[in-house]
Structure 1
Amino acid sequence: MKKPIIEILLSSEKRKKVLLLLQDGPREMETLLRSLDTTRTALLPQLKILKESHLISQCGDTYESTTIGKLIVEDMISFLRTADVFGENCDYLGTHYIDFIPAYLLKKLPEIGSSKVINIDIPDIFSRDRGLFEKAVRSKYWMEATSILYPAFHEFYAEMLEHEIDISIIMTRDVYEKAKNDYYEHFKEIIDIKLISLYLYPENMEFASFIVTDECISFRLLTQEGAFDNKKMHICGPTASKWGKELFEYYRKRSRLIIDV
């Protein structure tokens, strides 16, 4: 009795790697052996199972994916990317709220790059991310949506402007009111110089903050209980910035431009 396709795909690392290798085109046996760092004796039984399931075909010493195999592997690649992204940081993503990301962008999340969860030292919880600042200096823009007001926000943004960084910030009403009431002069100065685009988001944000630069996205998520903690997640990759801009634009469209205090 043949094994179900799902078992063939997931129960053997060698079979999975063979299918992924053949997705790019036919491969000779020697190429497969080198790529998989295995022996002919070990690989032949796995190839036999794949052939019997009509996922690959053989011509002499060359193997290639069948049409069925290619279609199945395309979906498998998407599944594996999703499993990698959510699996490697399952403890963080599983205990933090991510439903603020629109469904169409959430589906794209596995495609945008590698992610890393970072513990923030307690003294630095209300300090700016200097590493991300250096990335912004190189990229020349900083997009931020935040429900947190950092005490030294004025000095931080002033330093950015010295580097001619294009800054756009979306803030909640609570952040706006705190900045206006507790830091009026500094806040008014930022608005008056009109070198920073400030937006007011009318509803509660279900996250602490997210920041987009040309190289990375940085998230500070809320826990499932709605609490802040000392963790953040960075996602870096060639398409991370494009995805992050889409997320920022989603919230910007639902905000209004702040033109005075």
Structure 2
Amino acid sequence: MEKDLLDVIFNSEKRKSVLLMLDDGQKEMPIILSSLNTTRSALLPQMKILKESNLIYKSGDSYGLTNIGKIVADEMKTFLNTLETLDKNNIYLATHKVGGIPETFLKRISDIRECQLIEPTIINAQEINLDYFKVALASKTVYFVFTFMHPACPWVLGQLADNNINVEIIFTRDLVNKLIEEWTDEFRHYIAYDNVKFYVYEKEVGISSLTVTDGGLLIRLLFCNDEFSNKQLLCQSPQGRQWGKELYDYYLKDSKPITHI
């Protein structure tokens, strides 16, 4: 049965398209034909196969998904979205430590399929992404996870905090120790802000950095050999933003507040 269903679904582009289209609800035949740019005579044999496989039902001149069809369409959409994500970012994901992303979120990587690769030049490697910084300045709260300190971070933090934007930052233990040693005054200064919260995460963080604004996320992964990479993935879709916020919360639940140094 499983093999038959796979054949039914993936051996015909028309059948696959019909299932995905009907996932949004029952459709009349003229709408289906128009969307697929096909004729009734060409599509009816494919609809017959889907109906015989208990994936769709017919009501008058309309078609919809059965309960089984709904399950299949939902899983198919997730699978195809995952393939799209992997295909679009194949080189980046193949050369970077994707395994550093917690498994729960890796399984949902299709949530960030609308991301774009940001690759600063060597000259601009130490500069911040100004376009994304503008998005941060328009946010109510900005969330960070840092395993390293970008040279511009104190300036960015100052701009956000002084504009009454809530800022939450999770640091690794090694980075906290470095900040206390090398940036003592700055660290102590921002701890005193009511709208700034610092946390320390004692476990290993598999990613390099994460920024979540009201408008999306910016994530940086390590190279596969654990070396630093300046390449980042930017995602500004609501679904991607939710993925990023939940990833931040994943680290937050095992983090401890830093209230003084």
TM range (shorter): 0.7 to 0.9
How high is the sequence identity, in percent, across the aligned residues? 36
1:176 aligned partner: 176
Report 1:55-134 matches (<5 A): 55-59=55-59, 61-111=61-111, 114-134=114-134
1:143 aligned partner: 143
Runs (4+) of structure 1 moved beyond 4 Å?
none
Change (3 A) 1:71 1:189: closer
1:202 aligned partner: 202
Deviation string, structure 1 residues 124-158 (Cα, Å, up to 9, x no partner): 32322222221112222111011111123222211
| Local SS of the residue matching 2:218 | strand
Deviation string, structure 1 residues 166-213 (Cα, Å, up to 9, x no partner): 111111233223323333322332224454211122233222101111
2:158 is the alignment partner of 1:158? yes
Q: Structure 1 CA distance, aligned partners of 2:123 and 2:198?
A: 28
1:211 aligned partner: 211
1:251 aligned partner: 251
Q: Structure 2 CA distance, aligned partners of 1:253 and 1:71?
A: 33
Amino acid at match of 1:207: I
Q: Which ranges of structure 1 fall in alignment gaps of 5 or more residues?
A: none
Change (3 A) 1:124 1:172: farther
After alignment, is 241-250 or 13-22 more displaced? 241-250
Number of residue equivalences: 259
Q: Structure 1 CA distance, aligned partners of 2:220 and 2:130?
A: 15
Cα RMSD over matched residues?
Answer: 2.4
8 Å contact kept, 1:113–1:239 = no
Q: TM-score if structure 1 supplies the norm length?
A: 0.87
Deviation string, structure 1 residues 235-261 (Cα, Å, up to 9, x no partner): 222233333222212212222222223
Amino acid at match of 1:160: L
Change (3 A) 1:98 1:244: same
After alignment, is 82-91 or 218-227 more displaced? 82-91
Amino acid at match of 2:140: K
2:237 is the alignment partner of 1:232? no
| Local SS of the residue matching 1:242 | helix
Q: Structure 1 CA distance, aligned partners of 2:119 and 2:102?
A: 26
